């Protein structure tokens, strides 16, 4: 009986190829949809905060960050994730309306301090604009804002003019009536 058990032992020892992985040197191969550390595409994030709202542990907070797209993300607010609380459930990724938040294959988070595992947008962003692009975009945003302001001002003027015209008409009417 013991021999039979030993037969299985030997068989396993001789046939099974990989049992122990040389972990720090060789990382195991992770599948394509592994849920590891988040990857933020700062160029498309619109800063809506739906990831922060759906998080069951409220570990996502929106913080200001420079290298995003000011045209889409007006207030320049991007998610910051506290990995001390994150459970890697992936609800934030599902909820993102522009699919700018993904989860990647990076899984090592260790740090010396509790602050070290709070990852701001600069640490999770995989795609971001350079300084020059940001400056251009900002200028564009400014121009657009000004244009909008102008348009708004023009609209307001027009409105005011119309209102005035109406008022004049309204004023004129009782006058007419009075005359008649």
- Report the C-alpha gap between 63 and 97 in whole angstroms: 19
Q: Which is nearer to other proteins, 56 or 165 (CB)?
A: 56
- Report the C-alpha gap between 129 and 127 in whole angstroms: 7
Q: Least distance from C-beta 83 to other proteins, angstroms? A: 15
Q: What share of the chain is helix, strand, coil (3-state, %, to 5)?
A: 45, 15, 45
- Report the C-alpha gap between 180 and 178 in whole angstroms: 5
Candidate ranges 30-38, 39-47, 152-160, 171-179; the one touching other proteins (CB under 8 A): 30-38
Using CB under 8 A as the binding rule, whether residue 2 contacts other proteins is answered as: yes
Interface residues for other proteins in 41-70 (CB under 8 A)?
54, 56
Residue 78 φ/ψ, nearest 5 degrees = -130, 155
Using CB under 8 A as the binding rule, whether residue 13 contacts other proteins is answered as: no
Binding footprint of other proteins, residue count (CB under 8 A): 25
Using CB under 8 A as the binding rule, whether residue 168 contacts other proteins is answered as: no
The order of strands in the sheet holding 60-64 is 60-64, 77-82, 118-119
Q: Least distance from C-beta 2 to other proteins, angstroms? A: 7
Q: Which residues bind other proteins (CB under 8 A)?
A: 1-2, 4-6, 8-9, 12, 16, 19, 30-35, 54, 56, 87-91, 94, 103
């Amino acid at each position: 009986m013991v021999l039979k058990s030993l037969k299985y032992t030997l068989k396993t020892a001789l046939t099974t190829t990989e049992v122990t992985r040389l972990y720090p040197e060789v990382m195991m191969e992770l599948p394509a949809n592994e849920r590891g550390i988040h990857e933020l595409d700062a160029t498309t994030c619109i800063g809506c905060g739906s990831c922060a709202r759906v998080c069951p542990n409220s570990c996502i907070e929106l913080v200001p960050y420079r290298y995003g797209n000011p045209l889409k993300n007006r207030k320049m607010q991007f998610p910051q994730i506290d990995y001390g609380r994150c459970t890697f459930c992936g609800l934030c990724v599902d909820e993102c309306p522009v699919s700018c938040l993904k989860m990647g294959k990076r899984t090592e988070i260790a740090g010396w301090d509790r602050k070290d595992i709070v990852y701001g947008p600069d640490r999770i962003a995989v795609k971001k604009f350079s300084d020059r692009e940001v400056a251009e975009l900002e200028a564009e945003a400014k121009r657009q804002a000004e244009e909008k302001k102008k348009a708004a001002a023009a609209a307001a003027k027009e409105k005011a003019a119309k209102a005035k015209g109406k008022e004049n008409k309204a004023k004129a009417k009782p006058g007419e009536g009075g005359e008649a």
